[in-house]
Amino acid sequence: MNFFKNYSGLPKTVYVLFIAQVINRFGDFVMPFLTLFLTRHLGMSNKSAGAAVMLTILASIPGAFAGGKIADHYGRKKTHMIFQGLAGVAIFLCTFTRSPWVIILLLAISAFFNGGVRPIMTAIMTDVLEPDQRKLGFSLTYLGINIGVALGPLVAGFLFNEYLYMIFIGDAITTVIAVTLVGFYIKETLPSHLATESDLDRVIENAPLEEVESGTIISVLARRPQVVLFLVFNTFYSATYTQLLFSLPIMMNHVFGDSGPTFFGTLMTINAITVLAFTMIIAHFTHKWRPITGVVLGGIAYFIGFGMISFSRILPLFWISTFIWTIGEILVVTNFGVYISNNTPQNFRARISAVTSLSWAIGSMLGTYCIGIYMDATSVEAVWPFVSVIVMIGVLGMMGIRWYDSRPTKEHSRIATIYCDEIEE
């Protein structure tokens, strides 16, 4: 069975974004090792490191709303290039200082602009993909992210131990390359720039919930309570997943000592290889599923994968854990954006994507700061049972939304059923 055929026939923009994501995420050297950088090289406590990481996450929230607002009004492409470029500049400036507080400030500035990039990327993808292409399109760009991540952490792990500040230079260089690709090969995708009115009419006909609406983002969301609940329960998922970059490196350091950073890099590579090997397979077999079903099953995989870290003391158990929660990651990421896109008016795409970034950011922020406090009060081993409870709350909430969406008497579920039937045909 040739899974690659699933990705043929997508718009050119999607393939360009795929390549840009490979390059950009290969050079994402700083964030995966930020916790270790703050604790080992800057001497911060777990609590202080959690606060610093929380600051970078917090900075991404206004950035997401700024990027979303500007992109919806003035264009996706130029907003993307400006925000991504400034994020790279801030990272690059970290090479010229040894002050921990200046570095944290620059990382927060970079996080602000990176926060704006994410909703713009989602909006571009939604603009160019028809509803029945979205799961495959989102899975392809997600695949691109992880091709870069497959090698990036290994390089970053080496630089972290031998040439620490080169991680900032490498991160900035790859950002410039990715921005250049977008500048030369992607056209503006804002709906008013669509080629013809028939294109716009076809999008609306195939996805009624995407029809242009008036009002504010609050009024739009008020008419979509299932989306609001989806984002609330997603914070529980986000708080769990963020332990990948916060508690997990500390756990590896705790269990394996000086070998912890190297072994953590191998886990990131296993994560990326699993994504490379299984994303196409999972996308092929689940493309007719309702997106919310994939999100529920992904949360269950998080529960198992992160939960088993509490009793893992040998490297192979960490490998198994990483494989399981990575399957969950694939299911969540490839379905999350599709669920939101299918419920978003086209003139609010970037702004509602910014709200989804807020959901992820709040979960990540609470998942670092609160877990940092909890870890200092207990132990790193005690984190994982607590995290399991957190994600299970999110899973139960998503199951409730799935039931809510399935009620035949509701207008929103009627439209969702029509959409699913069109895909199956």
b/e 369-392 (16+ beta carbons within 10 angstroms → b): bebbebbeeeebbebbebbbebbb
Q: Is the pLDDT of residue 180 over 90?
A: yes
| pTM recorded for the entire structure | 0.74
- Which structure tokens are listed for 220? 């739009």
b/e 339-357 (16+ beta carbons within 10 angstroms → b): bbbbbbbbbbbbbbbbbbb
At residue 400 the predicted structure's pLDDT band, cuts being 50, 70 and 90, is: very high
DSSP state of 39: I
Residue 197 placed within a domain: no
Residue 200 placed within a domain: no
User: What ranges in 163-259 are assigned the alpha helix state H?
Assistant: 166-185, 197-206, 217-222, 225-241, 247-256
The tally of CA atoms less than 13 A away on the side-chain side of residue 212 is 8
Residue 405 placed within a domain: yes
Residue 270 placed within a domain: yes
- Which structure tokens are listed for 395? 């899973």
CA angle 317–323–324, rounded 5-degree value: 90
Q: What is the pLDDT of residue 351?
A: 85
Residue 247 placed within a domain: yes
Overall domain count for the chain: 1
Q: What is the CATH number of the domain that holds 71?
A: 1.20.1250.20
Residue 3 placed within a domain: no
Domain span including residue 302: 11-186+216-424
Chain mean position to CA 279 = 15
Q: What is the pLDDT of residues 4-22, one digit of tens each?
A: 677 888 899 999 999 998 8
Q: What is the pLDDT of residues 93-126, one digit of tens each?
A: 988 887 778 888 998 999 999 989 988 988 899 8
Q: What is the pLDDT of residues 34-78, one digit of tens each?
A: 777 777 777 777 777 778 877 887 888 899 889 988 998 888 999
Q: Is the pLDDT of residue 424 over 50?
A: no
Residue 198 placed within a domain: no
Q: What is the pLDDT of residues 304-362, one digit of tens each?
A: 999 999 888 899 999 999 999 999 999 999 899 889 888 888 778 888 888 887 888 78
Q: What is the pLDDT of residues 234-285, one digit of tens each?
A: 999 999 999 998 899 999 998 998 888 889 988 988 887 898 889 889 988 8
Residue 209 placed within a domain: no
Please spell the DSSP secondary structure of 174-187, one letter per residue: HHHHHHHHHHHH--
